[in-house]
Amino acid sequence: MTAANVYQQRPTTGAKAESSLHHADLASLVGKGRKSAGVIVREKKLLGHLTIRGDGHDAAFAAGVQKALGIELPGALTVIVKGETSLQWMGPDEWLLIVPSGEEFAAEQKLRKALGDLHIAIVNVSGGQQLLELSGPNVRQVLMKSTSYDVHPNSFPVGKAVGTVFAKSQLMIRHTAEDTWELLIRRSFSDYWWLWLQDASAEFGLSVQA
């Protein structure tokens, strides 16, 4: 196991954790949208986000990640989803691991144990970003309004993930199922993207899901 000190960063003293869209009170909007809405949004809040860096060409590194997570190291521009856990390629030597809320500490410990003395870096970035899940028959049209990246099925199949300009900022778009997409957003831009999605989805109907 690496010699780095690993700390439990999630509060265990009863402190209240709030997502970056807490003030929008999305829970109060559940069930109030148009029936048969073309776009459904769900805030996947307070998940564990870990950035992993290492040599993707090193068989020992790839094997260690798979041993710890049960997920193969994804190749360029791809994301692998296994239940509520996902592993996404971010660059030639960087991946993003997302795990259920509260499991990030244990996941980091498993990774460090499996990767031993390899030259790696693992950073908990949970507080700086979150996921918004978009589903429904008109999600692709909303994406076409919002980004210049080609989201046609031939160019953006299920399992692909890219960083791109969205509206007037940047985020990651992940295609996780046929009619389901995820936006990996920075905490500081959450307000902007939420307002944008409401406007871009208005003609199709927007519904909030718990």
Q: So what's the pLDDT on residue 5?
A: 66
Tokens linked to 15: 């402190």
Task: Tell me the average pLDDT across 97-119.
Answer: 96
Please name the CATH architecture into which domain 26-46+128-209 falls: 2-Layer Sandwich (3.30)
- Band of pLDDT at residue 11, cut at 50, 70 and 90: low
DSSP structure class, residue 152: S
pTM of the entire structure? Answer: 0.92
Domain boundaries, the chain: 26-46+128-209, 47-125
How many Å separate Cα 45 from the centre of its chain? Answer: 10
Q: In Å, what is the CA distance from 187 to each residue of 20, 23, 82?
A: 6, 13, 24
Q: In Å, what is the CA distance from 78 to each residue of 59, 137, 154, 188?
A: 19, 23, 15, 25
H or E segment and range at residue 170: strand 169-177
pLDDT at position 83 over 70: yes
Q: So what's the pLDDT on residue 31?
A: 82
Task: Tell me the average pLDDT across 71-79.
Answer: 97
Alpha-carbon distance 139 to 52, whole Å?
A: 30
- Band of pLDDT at residue 14, cut at 50, 70 and 90: confident
Alpha-carbon distance 39 to 41, whole Å?
A: 7
- Band of pLDDT at residue 10, cut at 50, 70 and 90: low
What does the pLDDT look like over 120-178, one tens digit per residue? Answer: 999 999 999 999 999 999 999 999 999 999 999 999 999 999 999 999 999 999 999 99
User: Is residue 92 within 8 Å of 56, Cβ to Cβ?
Assistant: yes
Q: CA angle, 45 as apex, 41 and 51 as ends, to 5°?
A: 115
Q: So what's the pLDDT on residue 9?
A: 65
Is the C-alpha dihedral spanning 88, 89, 95, 96 positive or negative?
negative
Task: Give DSSP secondary structure letters for 163-203.
Answer: EEEETTEEEEEEEEETTEEEEEEEGGGHHHHHHHHHHHHTT
Tell me whether strands 121-124 and 169-177 are parallel, antiparallel or unpaired: unpaired
Beta bridge partners of 171: 164
pLDDT at position 17 over 90: no
Tokens linked to 69: 């997570």
Task: Tell me the average pLDDT across 33-47.
Answer: 92
Q: Does domain 47-125 have CATH number 3.30.70.1520?
A: yes
- Band of pLDDT at residue 35, cut at 50, 70 and 90: confident
Burial label for 158, CB within 10 Å (0-12, 13-18, 19+), is middle
H or E segment and range at residue 61: helix 59-69
Tokens linked to 125: 């970035």
